[in-house]
């Protein structure tokens, strides 16, 4: 089972690339009225008996300037979910926990972006080949080896692996590992099928080639050098609550979740996984975006060389989704990159305009529902228009 020992640390040192600072929209080169409307839209998402999300945090900016950093609603609003009335069972007002800009969120699939960066770091160092076969590193993963799955196919979701496996139903880690090792691709290799299994296999590849556990790789290679002190794998007791997990709508009976990973497979794997498990804040994710927009550097740290950041963002993207209007809105079109997470998280960084948008929400609190990314797209459109309006 992966190590969970790493606490977040602070860093320091002489600046070599601009750090983020909070300032006015005008100083960021953004239209203040468009950003005012962005904030109002995001606040409205938390209002009513059946809001889009119990709570939200939005962070947006351009260059090294954070022009918007706002929180709305509740980090914890519900005690449970009542399937009879199809409503959350609300906590008394004095027992609810307000959302703040410092509230950590379960990032869900935004974790995949960190896995992708960790993989490209190894490609840059020459310890991993982007077109190498997974079997060269994991010969014991016999199905992947027999079918010639490559590292690039894992990063681009073109391996043919199914979206997920019920690892949460197995009794122990040995059974889960055996299932992963035996899982063959069902789809046609080279065609796109989004799959958590791709990033789970990539986690094992990275652990094999480095001799370190995945949480250590992320901490030492990304979050510590960037000073992302609020970003780490759980448990994270102060995080926004997610779901009241109960069968049949969930895959396990775990009750109301707060500070432990929502994804059932990541939970079964000990909370550290290549596809889910990280917790973070809006400001920390803005740092992550800023480092990539600056060619891999932030403050005194460099996590990737510019050519390898470009490799991440070259179509179709390595782990990052590129130019997807369904969650980026009008930011999409000229090389915007980002991702969404099942719990309600998302981020977008736009190289063409040097802007970033982080929208975090606990949309699965008190229970999961059909995904609706229209508010994310609307937020992206506001940021795009804020650029054009200056």
Can you say whether residue 255 is alpha, beta or left, with left for phi > 0 and alpha for psi between -120 and 50 degrees?
A: left
The 8 Å CB, 24+ separation contacts for 89-94 are 89/366
Select the more confidently predicted residue: 201 or 3: 201
Mapped onto helix, strand or coil, the DSSP state of residue 255 is strand
Q: Does residue 10 have a pLDDT over 80?
A: no
Confidence at residue 7, expressed as pLDDT on a 0 to 100 scale: 36
Confidence at residue 16, expressed as pLDDT on a 0 to 100 scale: 67
Confidence at residue 17, expressed as pLDDT on a 0 to 100 scale: 82
Q: Which domains does the chain have, with CATH numbers?
A: 21-107+215-388 (3.40.710.10), 117-211 (1.20.58.710)
Q: Residue 364: enclosing H or E segment and its boundaries?
A: none
45's CB contacts (< 8 A; 6+ apart) are 51, 52, 53, 56, 72, 73, 361, 375
Q: Does residue 1 have a pLDDT over 80?
A: no
What is the dihedral sign for C-alpha 139, 145, 151, 157? negative
Beta bridge partners of 133: 150
- On the 0-12 / 13-18 / 19+ scale of CB atoms within 10 A, 177 is middle
For a pLDDT cut of 90, what percent of the chain falls above it?
93
Mean pLDDT of 279-288: 98
Mean pLDDT of 67-87: 97
Q: Does residue 362 have a pLDDT over 80?
A: yes
Average pLDDT, the chain: 95
User: How many angstroms separate the first and last alpha carbons of the chain?
Assistant: 51
| Residue range 209-268, pLDDT digits in tens | 999 999 999 999 999 999 999 999 999 999 999 999 999 999 999 999 999 999 999 999
Residues written for the chain? 390
For residues 151 and 157, the answer to whether their CB atoms sit within 8 Å is: no
């Amino acid at each position: 089972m992966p190590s969970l020992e790493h606490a977040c640390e602070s860093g320091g040192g002489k600046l070599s690339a601009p750090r983020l600072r909070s300032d006015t929209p005008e100083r960021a080169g953004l239209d203040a009225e468009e950003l005012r409307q962005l904030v109002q839209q995001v606040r409205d998402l938390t209002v009513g008996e059946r809001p889009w999300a119990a709570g939200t945090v939005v962070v947006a900016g351009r260059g090294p300037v954070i022009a918007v950093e706002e929180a709305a609603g509740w980090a914890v609003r519900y005690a449970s979910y009542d399937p009879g009335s199809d409503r959350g069972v609300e906590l008394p007002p004095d027992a609810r926990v307000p959302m703040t800009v410092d509230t950590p969120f379960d990032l869900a699939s935004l974790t995949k972006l960190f896995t992708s960066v960790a993989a490209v770091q190894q490609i840059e160092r020459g310890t991993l080949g982007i077109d190498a076969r997974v079997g060269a590193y994991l010969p014991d993963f016999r199905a992947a080896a027999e079918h010639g799955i490559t590292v690039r196919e894992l990063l681009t979701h073109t391996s043919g692996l199914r979206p997920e496996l019920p690892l949460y139903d197995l009794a122990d880690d040995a059974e889960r590992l055996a299932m992963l090792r035996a899982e063959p691709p069902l789809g046609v290799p080279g065609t796109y099928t989004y799959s958590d299994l791709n990033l789970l296999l990539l986690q094992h590849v990275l652990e094999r080639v480095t001799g370190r556990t995945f949480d250590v790789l992320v901490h030492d290679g990304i979050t510590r050098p960037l000073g992302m002190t609020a970003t780490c794998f759980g448990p994270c007791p102060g995080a926004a609550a997610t779901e009241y997990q109960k069968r049949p709508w969930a895959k396990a009976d775990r009750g109301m979740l707060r500070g432990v990973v929502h994804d059932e497979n990541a939970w079964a794997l000990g909370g550290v996984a290549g596809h889910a498990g990280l917790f973070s804040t809006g400001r920390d994710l803005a740092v992550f975006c800023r480092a990539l927009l600056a060619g891999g550097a932030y403050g005194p740290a460099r996590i990737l060389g510019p050519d390898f950041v470009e490799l991440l963002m070259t179509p179709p993207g390595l782990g990052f989704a590129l130019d997807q209007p369904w969650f980026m809105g009008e930011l999409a079109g000229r090389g915007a990159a980002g991702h969404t997470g099942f719990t309600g998280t998302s981020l977008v960084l736009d190289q063409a305009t040097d802007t970033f948008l982080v929208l975090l929400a606990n949309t699965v609190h008190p229970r999961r529902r059909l995904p609706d990314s229209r508010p994310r797209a609307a937020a992206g459109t506001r940021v795009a228009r804020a650029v054009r309006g200056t």
